[in-house]
Structure 1
């Protein structure tokens, strides 16, 4: 299993239309065929010093393997390319964590 977790820091002062554009765009990534599981979220209300809560949105995608992840990426995926082209002006920062599972429960 290959896990791709993306954190977005949106720009300050975006309009509701801008935020809707981002949300629609990031949601479109979950329609890419190689995505086996996906989740879009905002920071939870947990409040401990060790927890990073400064991001605006997170995108979690899970693939069967590295090849599935590569099929999701630009330039292979037109959906992903469209998202980046149409939405990159909306964020200040993106941070990505990728991992390959060694032990899976379930």
Structure 2
């Protein structure tokens, strides 16, 4: 076996490291891609009984049913985070964040029988709803 100098050993290791990093670039790039969909629909719910964990759980149960609507590209159910700054609104109980490909698909969602049934079955739980719709710039 040929004896290898420290310099050639380190050079070979560097080349292999760079080759490995280059091979991983496509995977890394996909981690930074924007979410699918360019229409964002964010809904905030205030409950009639804000201290009722049962009402909150019931609302979340209802929101879960909406995930069956195929036009939704990404859906997230949230609650206020523990952050505490003057600009943060923490009065809501549950948030519902949706991504759609476009306004047309969001309008299909609004008229979808599952969505209409959700409003019919769960609207008695909330006292206030605020919606923020936005599009990519």
**1:49 corresponds to which residue?**
86
Instruction: Give yes or no for contact 2:62–2:118 (8 Å, CA) kept in 1.
Output: yes
TM-score (norm 1): 0.87
Matches within 5 A, 1:25-104: 25-73=62-110, 76-102=111-137
Specify which structure has the higher proportion of strand: 1
Instruction: Give yes or no for contact 2:56–2:94 (8 Å, CA) kept in 1.
Output: no
> Please, which runs of 5 or more residues in structure 2 have no aligned partner?
1-37
Specify which structure has the higher proportion of helix: 2
> What is the alpha-carbon distance in structure 1 between the residues aligned to residue 132 and residue 43 of structure 2?
6
Return closer, same or farther for 1:29/1:93 CA change in 2, 3 Å cut-off. same
The range that moved more, 22-31 or 90-99, is 22-31
> What is the alpha-carbon distance in structure 1 between the residues aligned to residue 74 and residue 84 of structure 2?
27
Count of matched residue positions in the alignment of Structure 1 and Structure 2: 99
Instruction: Give yes or no for contact 1:4–1:97 (8 Å, CA) kept in 2.
Output: yes
The 3-state SS of whatever aligns with 2:67 is helix
> What is the alpha-carbon distance in structure 2 between the residues aligned to residue 58 and residue 15 of structure 1?
15
> What is the alpha-carbon distance in structure 2 between the residues aligned to residue 42 and residue 14 of structure 1?
14
Bigger-Rg structure (1/2)? 2
Instruction: Give yes or no for contact 1:4–1:61 (8 Å, CA) kept in 2.
Output: yes
**Superposition CA RMSD, Å:** 1.3
Return closer, same or farther for 1:55/1:86 CA change in 2, 3 Å cut-off. same
